[in-house]
Amino acid sequence: MAYYDSSFDANRTTLRQRITRLFETPFDRRYRQRTARIDELRMQSDAELCRRGIAREDILFHVFSGKA
């Protein structure tokens, strides 16, 4: 019989991640937020990007220009 532990969440932050964020500088935070936004936009389809008015080759420009 298999047992499934529903209390485990793969997206849960680890102790190491919590400690890292404790000593995070504003530059680190901004870098983490921008890379997350870039990853989010890159995962979208071309049709979804088109609805937002963003071309795939302009994702970096869009995020770093502050339009995101």
| pTM score | 0.66
Residue 50 sits at the vertex; the CA angle it makes with 46 and 53, to the nearest 5 degrees, is 140
CA 50 to chain centre: 20
Residue 13 confidence class, pLDDT cut points 50, 70, 90:
confident
Residue 1 confidence class, pLDDT cut points 50, 70, 90:
low
pLDDT digits (tens, 9 = 90+) for 17-61: 889 888 989 999 999 999 999 999 999 999 999 999 999 999 999
Domain locations in the chain? 36-68
